[in-house]
């Protein structure tokens, strides 16, 4: 006979308590405990699904097989995954509502015409999916759609259909009858993910899961969800902008330093193979406060435009505002300009923006940030065919950056005539570039050379 008991589970970390408490003792969050009914049976229907014929083996007894990845017919997604989907792997995609997760996954499912796909949606009906497919202008005779939220029914349909790729949209809507709690709870997400994991590992088919995120930006559900899957991808971008960045947070079969860039349009997510041409504006001749940075995002070099506006503080207290750039680092750079270079900016408002709505953490854009700030402060325009790459230290020195040759090559490819780089660095072969390379080592010396002709 089944034993029924109730426990209180933290919806943030999954910590359990026999009684309700205001603050979780594990993660420290307030008012996150919810009462859930737990039914303990003698045998779980999902726990009995074990890999058939699995035996302990020595490493020298295991044959190395050439794993054939599944091509997604999407270069940006393939790059982030490490070359495609690995059979038997689970990929979790998270992001803000409306960022384009379902659109991208549906687009990939409809493009895989040589594979049998099962697309399970717990949020939309099949008619709604049909409307989105018509908007994407794609069809696939081998793609089957199912509107279902029961884990047992999903596993049964998978056993009969035998798909080669499984898509779940989203994992928070799937529930199992074994757990008597609402869909989306910690217990349901953990149990359902475990059931799907056992099935795909046994059948060696890849599964793509779409996950919701919390208001803090982390994936909803227990942290164990990210440990169970093989790959965690994060969609970033602002809804007001067209560009989306797909980052790899975890990848057991590839690098986590890769990223994919997409553009949202009426026909879905378009791959952006050369984002530098879209992120910089060539028509800002004569305008001050704009500079171009040679940045590295992941393993990809790209040129981004940094805009700055410096004005006199209207109410006595200066404002510091930054979009796409770390505000604390902006305050540090302003302090360096004040202390080491003698520029009086303490009584002025400083606004900084990275064009395109993207966020960049590369420290090599420091030189571009201070260039844009001083350009706006003195109302002196920077030549649109110049770009910058360098990290600024607290003592006013310009420090060396990584992958300098890639940055220079990207700048030269996009028609830049001059690039400012750090003087201190490794012995690099810069003679192969036709672009004018200016090496600088101090902030004060850099600005004298930058605005010498102005």
| Alpha-carbon span 270 to 355, nearest angstrom | 19
Cα separation, 147 vs 169, in Å, equals 10
Whole-number Å distance between alpha carbons of 326 and 329:
5
Q: Is 95 annotated as belonging to a binding site?
A: yes
Q: Is 65 annotated as contributing to ligand binding?
A: no
Would you say 217 is a known binding-site residue? no
Residue 100, annotated as binding a ligand:
yes
For residue 206, say whether it is annotated as part of any ligand binding site.
no
> Would you say 218 is a known binding-site residue?
no
Q: Is 99 annotated as a binding residue?
A: yes
Q: Any known ligand binding at 97?
A: yes
Q: Which residues are annotated as a binding site?
A: 95-102
Query: Which segments are annotated as binding site for ATP?
Result: 95-102
């Amino acid at each position: 006979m089944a034993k029924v008991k109730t426990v209180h589970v933290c919806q943030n970390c999954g910590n359990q308590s026999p009684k309700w408490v205001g603050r979780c003792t594990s993660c420290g969050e307030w008012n996150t405990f919810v009462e859930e009914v737990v039914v303990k049976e003698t045998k779980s229907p999902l726990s009995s699904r074990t890999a058939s014929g699995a035996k302990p083996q020595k490493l020298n007894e295991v044959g190395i097989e050439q794993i054939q990845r599944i091509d997604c017919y999407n270069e940006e997604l393939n790059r982030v995954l490490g070359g495609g989907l690995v059979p038997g792997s689970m990929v979790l995609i998270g992001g803000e509502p409306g960022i384009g997760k379902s659109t991208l996954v549906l687009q990939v499912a409809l493009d895989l015409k040589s594979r049998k796909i099962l697309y399970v949606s717990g949020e939309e009906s099949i008619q709604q999916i049909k409307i989105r497919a018509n908007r994407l202008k794609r069809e696939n005779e081998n793609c089957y759609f199912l509107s279902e939220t029961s884990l047992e029914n999903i596993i049964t349909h998978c056993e009969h259909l035998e798909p080669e790729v499984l898509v779940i949209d989203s994992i928070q809507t799937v529930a199992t009858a074994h757990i008597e709690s609402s869909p989306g709870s910690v217990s349901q997400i953990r149990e359902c993910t475990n059931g799907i994991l056992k099935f795909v590992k046994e059948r060696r088919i890849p599964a793509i899961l779409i996950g919701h995120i919390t208001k803090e930006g982390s994936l909803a559900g227990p942290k164990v969800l990210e440990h169970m899957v093989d790959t965690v991808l994060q969609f970033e971008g602002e809804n007001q902008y067209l560009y989306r960045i797909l980052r790899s947070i975890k990848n057991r079969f590839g690098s986590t330093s890769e990223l994919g860039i997409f553009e949202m349009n009426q026909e879905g997510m378009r791959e952006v193979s050369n984002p530098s041409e879209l992120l910089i504006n060539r028509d800002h001749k004569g305008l001050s406060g704009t500079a171009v940075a040679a940045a590295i995002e992941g393993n990809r070099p790209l040129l981004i435009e940094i805009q700055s506006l410096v004005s006199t503080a209207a109410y006595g207290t200066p404002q510091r505002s930054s979009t796409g750039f770390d505000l604390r680092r902006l305050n540090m750079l302003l302090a360096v300009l004040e202390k080491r270079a003698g520029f009086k900016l303490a009584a002025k408002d400083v606004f900084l923006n990275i064009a395109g709505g993207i966020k960049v953490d590369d420290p090599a854009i420091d030189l571009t940030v201070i260039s844009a700030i001083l350009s706006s402060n003195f109302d002196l325009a920077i030549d649109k065919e110049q770009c910058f790459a360098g990290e600024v230290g607290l003592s006013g020195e310009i420090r060396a950056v990584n992958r300098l040759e890639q940055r220079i090559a990207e700048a030269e490819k996009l028609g830049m005539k001059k690039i400012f780089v750090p003087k201190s660095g490794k012995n690099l072969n810069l003679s192969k570039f036709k672009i004018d390379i200016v090496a600088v080592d101090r902030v004060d010396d850099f600005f004298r050379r930058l605005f010498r002709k102005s």
